[in-house]
A and B are shown apart, each in its own frame.
Chain A
Amino acid sequence: MPLSAEERREIEAEFPHYPTKRAVCIDALKIVQRHRGWISDESMEDIAQLLEMSLDELDGVATFYNLLFRKPVGRHVVLLCDSVSCWIMGYEGLRAKLCSKLGVRLGETTADGRFTLLPIVCLGTCDHAPAMLVDEDLHRDLNPEKAEQALENYK
């Protein structure tokens, strides 16, 4: 499916902020991901053309970032912090609990398409470790039970 008028409008609204079109590529990739959940090969071609970049250059950028998804993800993305403070404060217990509850390993999506579970680097809330980010919501001071409970609110 080609870029929608709305996606195109949102991307073009970023143009005045930068002297080149290609500088908008992170914004463009994120705009498409916000609308579609992930960035397909077809969307990549459309964005590259709009920004006058080669497809390879754009993919070099897209694959560089932790939060740009080049594969489909679930309705909700669970980002579980695996950096040092959370590791000290009980990351491994959280991971074991979430993996067994969801029936997935890190990097996988549940069979019903509800959750994708991903590791993430330090979320910058280390005095409230361990922590996770579900979609745009930060959950802190977790233990395995609290983490499991928190997911109930995401249908």
Chain B
Amino acid sequence: MEKPLTQHVRPDGLAQDLRAYEAVGGYQAMRKALRMDPREIQQAVKDSNLRGRGGAGFPTGAKWSFVPMGPNAPRPKYLICNADEMEPGTFKDRLLMEAMPHQMIEGMSIAAWAIEAEVAYIFLRAEYVESARRLQKALAEAYDAHYLGKKVFGSGYNLEMYLHVSAGRYMCGEETGLLNALEGKRANPRSKPPYPQVSGLFGKPSIVQNVETLCNLPHIVNKGAEWFKKLSRTADGGTKLYGASGKVKRPGLWELPMGTTVRELLEEHAGGMREGLRFRGLLPGGASTDFITEENLDAPMDFTALQKVGSRMGTGTMIVLDDQTCPVGMVWNLEKFFAQESCGWCTPCWSGLNWAERALRALEDGQGKEEDLEKLAFQSWFNAPGNTFCALAPGAVEPLQSALKYFREDFERHLREKRCPWK
């Protein structure tokens, strides 16, 4: 089984430096890319069926195709790596940045060349202190080697790359919120159109991609779209970094073929539930995905299949709920997070999520009322896509609406017994 993203991760946990990266073929893909026309790279990425690994799964090649190209395109153009990994339950990009910083820099360089961008930013969350140290060191190594800066690799192409370390706010992970944050503004989302590909950072054409997405690019350029598609068990190309947290026997992170089933992840890789605990449900890819339960465990973890069972793959790092943890308490914890992290820009989100959080807290405290369940159901559709500026609120109500569906009896027990039965 091939693991292109993680096969060279050092067992001692240290970062792979420039020399070690080059010893296993590092930066050959960028050299090759510079001999290709940017549009050829775009086509290869389109053919590979690479879909964005940040959670939404938008096809990467298609995203790039909207960027104005050629001598008359507005300048400078920007390539931004979204390294603001703050989705609760998600810990995959951290590994790629800490263990393989040059792989990410090379992936960013390829993406930048493919859209003819001359400036690239890494937008990193503040709490990833070790990632910042290692990326800063890797950037310095790449500049010293003339792989970044003026005339990279002796070509005519100039590429500046900067690390921007944020100051902690979930909203910055949203594409247009991130652009505002990089401009030194509050990270409110922007309405679309215009789309960032046309008018993004500082009003210039911009592409924002997740860390894992970018790390795939050197391998696609080296080995081709057909090879990349064959890594996957399904139509979405490549491997995927999957993870599991919660009360399983072996929480962890694994690079596996895209489309590995939920059951294989839960039972084989994570080792199943801890002794004495029963499985109740899981969020497949971070806090903003719908619960799935026993009946759907055989679904392949990819963007299409999980949608068919009413959820989303999201970031691919699952959070597991056991029978000795209260599902209402878990959803309360999630909604408290989303209500706190809402930027406050649009009403359904700032108002609605706070209502939901309060109703859930009341249920947990034994103060719930019959109509609270209706209120929670109302908030689920009130915050649906189309009613808000960005995806924060629609994501926030995914675990809520699915908990109301699968754990209805537990909500009702809180009402009936006027207490949390798990306390």
Q: Which residues of A contact B (CB under 8 A)?
A: 17-20, 22-27, 29-30, 51, 53, 57, 60-61, 64-68, 79, 82-85, 87-89, 120-129, 133, 136, 138
CA distance A127 to B252 in the complex (A): 5
- The chain B residue with its CB closest to the CB of A127 is B251
List the 9 shortest-distance A-B pairs measured between CB atoms, nearest first. Answer: A126-B245, A65-B167, A66-B168, A127-B251, A67-B168, A83-B88, A122-B88, A85-B245, A22-B184
24 interchain pairs, CB-CB under 8 A: A23-B184, A30-B126, A30-B167, A64-B186, A64-B187, A64-B343, A65-B166, A65-B168, A67-B168, A68-B167, A83-B89, A84-B333, A85-B88, A85-B245, A85-B319, A88-B247, A121-B337, A123-B127, A124-B90, A125-B94, A126-B91, A126-B243, A133-B129, A136-B129
Determine the chain B residues whose CB is within 8 A of the CB of A18 once the complex forms: 182, 184
- The chain B residue with its CB closest to the CB of A65 is B167
A127 touches B184 (CB 8 A): no
Asked if B170 lies at the interface with its beta carbon under 8 angstroms from chain A, I say: yes
A126 touches B317 (CB 8 A): yes
A79 touches B127 (CB 8 A): yes
CA distance A89 to B324 in the complex (A): 11
Determine the chain A residues whose CB is within 8 A of the CB of B246 once the complex forms: 85, 88-89
B167 touches A87 (CB 8 A): no
Cβ contact of B184, chosen from A24, A67, A122, A136, cutoff 8 A: A24
Determine the chain A residues whose CB is within 8 A of the CB of B252 once the complex forms: 127
What's the nearest-Cβ distance from chain A to residue B30, in Å? 22
Which range holds the interface residue count of chain B? 35 or more
- The chain B residue with its CB closest to the CB of A29 is B167
A122 touches B89 (CB 8 A): yes
What's the nearest-Cβ distance from chain A to residue B133, in Å? 9
Cβ contact of B90, chosen from A66, A120, A126, cutoff 8 A: A126
CA distance A65 to B127 in the complex (A): 12
* B129-178 with Cβ < 8 A to chain A: 129-130, 162, 164-170
CA distance A82 to B88 in the complex (A): 10
CA distance A147 to B30 in the complex (A): 45
Give 1 or 0 for each of B336-363: 1 = CB within 8 Å of chain A CB: 0100110100000000000000000000
CA distance A67 to B322 in the complex (A): 33
CA distance A87 to B317 in the complex (A): 16
> Given known contacts A61-B185, A64-B186, A121-B337, is B169 in contact with A84 (CB within 8 Å)?
no
Asked if B287 lies at the interface with its beta carbon under 8 angstroms from chain A, I say: yes
> Given known contacts A20-B202, A79-B127, is B89 in contact with A64 (CB within 8 Å)?
no
Asked if B18 lies at the interface with its beta carbon under 8 angstroms from chain A, I say: no
Determine the chain A residues whose CB is within 8 A of the CB of B341 once the complex forms: 121
B130 touches A138 (CB 8 A): yes
> Given known contacts A89-B247, A127-B253, is B325 in contact with A64 (CB within 8 Å)?
no
CA distance A122 to B187 in the complex (A): 19
Asked if B244 lies at the interface with its beta carbon under 8 angstroms from chain A, I say: yes
Cβ contact of A127, chosen from B245, B329, B330, cutoff 8 A: B245
What's the nearest-Cβ distance from chain B to residue A124, in Å? 5
CA distance A83 to B88 in the complex (A): 6
CA distance A20 to B125 in the complex (A): 21
Asked if B85 lies at the interface with its beta carbon under 8 angstroms from chain A, I say: yes
Residue among B88, B181, B184, B252 with max Cβ neighbours from chain A (10 Å)? B184
- The chain B residue with its CB closest to the CB of A68 is B167
CA distance A20 to B203 in the complex (A): 12
Asked if B66 lies at the interface with its beta carbon under 8 angstroms from chain A, I say: no
Determine the chain B residues whose CB is within 8 A of the CB of A127 once the complex forms: 91, 243-245, 251-253
